[in-house]
Amino acid sequence: MITRQLANALQYLHNIGIVHRDVKPANVLLEKSMRPHLADFGLSEYKQDLKKVTMENWRSSGKPTGGFHKKNMVGTLIYMAPEVLRKEIHTEKSDVYSFGISIKNPGVVPYTDLRTEAQAHTVLEMNYTEQQLTAAVVSEGLRPALAGTESGAPPRLLSLIQRCWDADTNNRPSFDDIITELDLIIGNNKSSTVEENALTESSSDDSTKMVQPFKENINWFSQGENISKSVYESGFDMKSWSSYSENSSLYVPVLSWGSFATCGRRETMEDTHFLMPRLWNEDDIHIFGIFDGHRGAAAAEFSVRAIPRLLQTLDCTKSPTDVLKEAFINTDIAFRKELNNQHKYKAIIQKDYHPGCTAITALIVQNRLYVANAGDCRAILCQAGCPYPLSKDHVASCLEERQRVTSLGGEVKWQLDTWRVGPAALQVTRSIGDDDLKPWVTAEPEVTETVLSGDDEYLVMASDGLWDVVSDLEVVNIIKNTVKEPGMCSKRLATEAAQRGSNDNITVIIVFLRPVSTAERIY
């Protein structure tokens, strides 16, 4: 459990007298095995040295970079405890506060998931000032929105998180207390799973089974992680793709990459994505992907692990185009099979639970860019300052897609404000999952192949939460006026979409295809 291991690291620091002072997800590095490592000790101090800090000698110097003030008031604003924002001394309990903010909803930037209009923009990226956010956290008790028990999170964990970010430092637990509580939570969850399985297996008469309300307690990330074990037994030599291009002297791009994801105005975050540069340590094979869930996040969570795993096991003597198609289709088959198994063996009683996700994946092999798309995520390539689409939206309002669905016997009707497929009234016509709409809503992606050259500047991939409100040309113009750092450009695009009123989750990946400078030059 990542949360438990992170708590161990902070417990160790505090036991030897060190306060980290910048606990946040960006400072937690994960191995391939998902083992976390707490990093970035540039702001850390011994507790005995922090006691020398007083209001009289407090002062800031320089402008904030990735964090906040550079002297005694340090950290990253949205993870900083109220007492630190009041310019009081940073203590171990301030690390506890940051820990609570960090684990409350992984993958969602704090304060971007608040639902009321009065709080919709209470984060710096949403155009609130530092002073306004600080005042809300310190004076109004503002905290990020916490998932409810319906999300599957144990109530004791939710209670623990709330105690970690209590305004009164005396009410916050120490990391000794946190670890004790986490061990109890983990133990109870294991016991509950065993009891639930035993109850399910012992009931052979359907008439005696109690109907349970739907509660998704399945780790779809783990299910997707294991897909390659059940589909293929042996791997392949990644060098086979490296030799796919006959001319080894061809232009090869120099990559840098970054991403940003936010819940936006949605109640839950159903987007997932991965960045896998130098795939399996090969310098000229890179893959990036975005999965936009609908009717639940299960298919997206499954696919974000399954697609890379399948690409590792499929026969790469085939062309990358064929391999990408095969990976999408096999992921769809495996997900729907697993979903059916969960319905049978986990006593999930919800007949209309048919989650799906749209998907877009970019594979770079030497100088060739392959984009596989199924649904309404989108990718564009900026070439010499102009945007070029690398995918098209698979939606029922597209005549070609509508005809494809109807030719398979599917029903397409005009409902509400657009064309929609089947009784589920789905707008997209291609996706992974959505088992109630097969075979009309296919998982087979369309794949484009582009030969890269020195004129190609960067690749932008995003879920429809961006494209609904920002055009291809506007994306290029926004990046043009942003410091050329891919993570910063991704954040700028996502927050621009949120400002314009996007009502969907927003995920953006940017891959620069040639060397760029993060410093702006003025002449």
Q: Which residues have a catalytic role annotated?
A: 22
Residue 103: which of 20, 191, 7 has the closest Cα? 7
Pull the structure tokens for residue 257: 């990459």
Q: What are the respective helix, strand and coil percentages of the chain, to the nearest 5? A: 40, 20, 45
d(CA 496, CA 219): 32
- Between helix 92-103 and helix 155-164 the angle, nearest 10°, is 140
Torsion, Cα 273 96 76 1, to 10 degrees, reads: -20
Pull the structure tokens for residue 78: 């949205």
Find how far residue 243's CA is from the centre of its chain.
Answer: 32
d(CA 197, CA 195): 6
| Bridge pairing between strands 386-389 and 378-383 | antiparallel
Beta-bridge partners for 418:
415
Contact 418, 345 (CB under 8 A): no
Per-residue exposure over 445-472, b if at least 16 CB sit within 10 Å of its own CB, e if not:
bebbebebeeebbbbbbbbbbbbebbeb
d(CA 231, CA 310): 8
> Phi/psi at 52 (nearest 5 deg)?
-80, -10
Q: Cβ neighbours of residue 511 under 8 Å, at least 6 residues apart?
A: 255, 256, 257, 286, 288, 362, 364, 458, 459, 461, 486
